[in-house]
Amino acid sequence: MTTLAETAPGALQVTDRKSARAFVDTHIVPYADAYDRQGRVPEELLERMTAAGLWAPFLPRETGGGGMDLVTLGEVHEEVGRGCSSVRSLLTVHTMVSWAVQRWGSPAQREQWVPALGRGDVLAAFCLSEPGAGSDASGIATNVVEKNGGWVLNGVKKWITNGQRADLFLVFARTATSIGAFLVPRDSPGVEVTPIEDMLGTRASMIAEISFRDVALGPDALLGPSGFTAGMVLTGTLDLGRYSVATGSVGIIQAALEACAAYASRRTVGGSLLKDLPLIQAKLSDMVTDARAARLLVAEAGRLKDAGEASTIMATWVAKYFASTAAARHASEAVQIHGANGCGHDYPVARLYRDAKVMEIIEGSNEIQRITIASQAEREII
């Protein structure tokens, strides 16, 4: 099959916020509500993203990547999140897996997967949650046993973003001694994908339940160290996912703000424009302020990542907590400002409202974020 990436070599390359904004305004914003209704992102957009180099531009240049720093990556994900949280979710999980393979993979694993992940020829999904375990990762029941020098995988993963479409799954499973991360190609015998439709939010993110029945894997399926540090593969990968969700949440606030600023400048109530009513102004001012504050927290987390500072992990928790709760608050107020129009299909704010709720649940729910941040509170004593 000839792809857009091949037929459109001169397509706009996304290298920074400005080019991401142009890409999103052209190829995503006009269609995001339709994706939401159809419950999927069309293949054509996935190919456009490939042509634009959007999938994993942070991978090092020597692997064929763009070597993009993480502050810029955050800005790009914010822009995509402004356009459509479902598309941003696809980017998030692909980013997580691509980073994990680059960071923890053996030379052979990197050679096999990284260039293809970087180009977007192989799309990836992250498989941790199960019907019986979400927040508590140590409760997962999916397991592997060593057999004939390789592994046999059994279990069920649920709520897997892009599970319907991804070619490669990073699956967390219980080993004899700990939890390990395993690279499982979708076409492995024993893998079964069941779409989950009609979600509340990020409805187009092609979520699936994936079952693994006696899936035989080679010895090279295990990613990264085993033993005590295996948990670090999970921690590091979730950290980057959390960062991406935080940026996407900033995008939701920005989208709510832009929609409300436009609507309040047109809509009159009792002879006054909405934007001239003090109670509406209060909502708009809080959106402006929180968008800026959230963006700064995210940028700080990104800067610490680029510097390799350990404190980025905590900074990312704080940024995601602030940005996701602010997104939920402001998306709700955005519906309020639009009145009945906010509840219908003609404006994007109903979608933002549903998508924002998801941000408070994924990559560490609000409750887990608060528990984690509180447990580190003594570090803040200065």
- Please give the positions annotated as active site: 363
102 binds, among another protein, ligand FAD, none (CB under 5 to 8 A by kind): none
Nearest residue (beta carbon) to ligand FAD? 134
> Of 43, 214, 309, 367, which one interacts with another protein (CB under 8 A)?
309
Q: How far apart are CA 25 and CA 35, in angstroms?
A: 15
228 sits near another protein (criterion: CB under 8 A): yes
Based on CB atoms, which residue is closest to another protein, 199 or 314? Answer: 314
In the complex with another protein, the residue whose CB is nearer, 98 or 316, is 316
Q: Among ligand FAD, another protein, none, what does residue 229 contact (CB within 5–8 Å per kind)?
A: another protein
C-beta of 271 vs 308, nearer to another protein: 308
CB of 206 to ligand FAD, least distance (A): 10
Residues that bind ligand FAD (CB under 6 A): 93, 126-129, 134-135, 159-161, 199, 202, 207, 358, 361-362, 365, 367-368, 371
Q: Which one of another protein, ligand FAD, none is in contact with 379 (Cβ closer than 5 to 8 A by kind)?
A: another protein
User: Which residues between 85 and 104 bind another protein (CB under 8 A)?
Assistant: 104
Q: How long, in residues, is the chain?
A: 382
Find which of another protein, ligand FAD, none residue 343 binds, CB within 5 to 8 Å per kind.
none
By DSSP bridging, strand 150-160 and strand 143-147 are antiparallel
Number of chain residues interacting with another protein (CB under 8 A): 23
Give the one residue of 73, 125, 181, 313 binding another protein; rule: CB under 8 A. 313
273 forms bridges with which residues in the sheet? Answer: 268
